[in-house]
Structure 1
Amino acid sequence: MLVLAPLGEETLHRGLIEGYLLHHTSFWVAIVFTAVIFGLVHILAFRDAPRGFRIFVVLNAFLIGLGAGYFRALSGSLIPAYSLHSAANLGGMVGWLWLEKK
């Protein structure tokens, strides 16, 4: 979850999808469209979770997608997007473990 998922997801979303869109649409269309797809894809992993939590996950993934897309577009590299995604997953994991111990 901390290494392989971000690597695969960022390669797909920021590398392939956003990379294509950056060459065929505007800067912001590429970033926002890819972030929307990224957010919606994350609903699949939490389809059995309560509705409020699913909404939180989708919005959170969308915001991370915006940041990752922006950093990727500015730098031309997937490393900033991958780093942000990994840090977000680490934060989510720590938060989940903390809540489980309560």
Structure 2
Amino acid sequence: MSRSSSASPVVTGTGPRPGWVEVVVGLVVLAAVAYGGGPLVLRTLDPGPLAGGLFLAALSGIAGIAGFAAAVAVRRRPLPEFGVRATSVRWLLLGAAGAVLAFVVSRLLVVGMVALGIEPENIQGAYADAGSGGAWSVALSLLFLAVLTPLGEELLFRGVVTSALLRYGAVVGVLGSAVVFALAHGLNVVFLTALVVGLVAGELRRRSGSVWPGVVTHLVHNAMAQVVALAFAGVL
């Protein structure tokens, strides 16, 4: 493949790509599920740290899938317009390599914050609680955080948001969707990690025309992050 063809965005299929309607609907449904329904369930059931952590670990993936499904249902565009299309093993391997890059860069940024006297708030302690019940809870936490969450979030943020914003060019498409993705995680230390992952996954989406390399990036990154979190918590 020539350099020019490999760098060309492949974002369309048989019809018009998603637009602002899909973006707004998808994000509103995500917010309603993740920040509305999820906390309500926790307050109502009060399941305890372990079950609550597992619930939160699954919630972002469920919310992302719900947002994506709602966006697709708005105007029923073909799934390839959202990047849900086959890709090559080469792109999947690049996705895995991108995960390692994103992991290293984001951790260096956090170290830089600490060196500057900025102490990041640990808002993801519940994810360590999700693996505190033994081998079965570790397996479930990895399933939710390293499989379900990447799938749901990539379908929504790269499949819908990046696809829509790429109509304004590569910079807006990749950087804009990464910022939206990071903001969805809140203004905290996770913002930096989400921004880096979003940039890598968005560029893979743009270049490959598929969401699957970004899913691999997100999957491998989250798996490494959860293993490290469980190790520091003394679970592993």
Shorter-chain TM-score bucket reads 0.7 to 0.9
CA distance in 2 between partners of 1:4 and 1:100 (Å) = 22
| C-alpha displacement of 1:42 | 1.5
Structure (1/2) with the larger helix percentage: 1
Query: Residue in 1 aligned with 2:181?
Result: 38
TM-score normalised by L of structure 1: 0.83
CA distance in 2 between partners of 1:5 and 1:67 (Å) = 17
Query: Residue in 2 aligned with 1:29?
Result: 172
**Correspondence list, 1:1-102, <5 A:** 1-22=145-166, 24-43=167-186, 55-101=188-234
CA distance in 2 between partners of 1:64 and 1:13 (Å) = 11
CA distance in 2 between partners of 1:58 and 1:27 (Å) = 21
TM-score normalised by L of structure 2: 0.37
Pick the structure with greater CA Rg. Answer: 2
Query: Residue in 2 aligned with 1:47?
Result: none
Q: Could you tell me which amino acid in structure 2 is paired with residue 95 of structure 1?
A: V
How many pairs align? 91
Q: C-alpha root-mean-square deviation of aligned residues, in Å?
A: 1.4
| C-alpha displacement of 1:55 | 3.0
Gapped runs of 5+ residues in structure 2? 1-144
Gapped runs of 5+ residues in structure 1? 44-53
Summarize deviations over 1:75-95 as a string: whole Å, max 9, x none: 001111000001111011011
| C-alpha displacement of 1:28 | 1.1
